[in-house]
Amino acid sequence: MNSIVYLILIFLLPAVILSRGTIAQDNFDIQLDKTAHLTTSFGLYFMFYTLYSDTLLFTLHDTIPNPLHSMISATAVGFSYEVYQSTKLSRSDGFSVHDMVYNMIGVGFARFTHEVFLYFKDLH
């Protein structure tokens, strides 16, 4: 567990240090950007779920179930991208809180869809 925390700090601290600290002036209107955040987070949940289920990735702790690990990982990727967008290296306006909301909606919708699939799988 400590190695994962160190890896997160190694990658996140430089991004935070390089960030401009700007918050993008954004809204909740459905645009291509918002759709991309929602669908990418949806797909990341299932990618991480597959990787954790097949033990191709180390888990944070054995007591945390794979769906929760997948939700945390997909949200962390979205958050890391938003932090990157607030750096000088990005051509973006800055960190978008609205994009993060769409990331979390995508992860939540993926989790809901996963539960629906598991429910119908258990019926047979």
pLDDT of residue 108: 97
Give the bridge partners for 20, in sequence order.
Answer: none
Conformation bin of residue 21: beta by default, left when phi > 0, alpha when psi is -120 to 50: left
Q: 87 by DSSP, 3-state: which? A: strand
pLDDT digits (tens, 9 = 90+) for 42-83: 999 999 999 988 887 777 677 889 999 899 999 999 998 888
Name residue 54's amino acid: D
Q: Is the dihedral of CA 87, 96, 110, 67 positive or negative?
A: positive
Place 8 in a pLDDT band, splitting at 50, 70 and 90: low
Total domains, the chain: 1
Name the residue range of residue 64's domain.
Answer: 2-123
pTM of structure: 0.80
pLDDT reading at 1 higher than 90: no
Q: Which residue has the higher pLDDT, 28 or 14?
A: 28
Mean pLDDT (whole number) for 6-15: 64
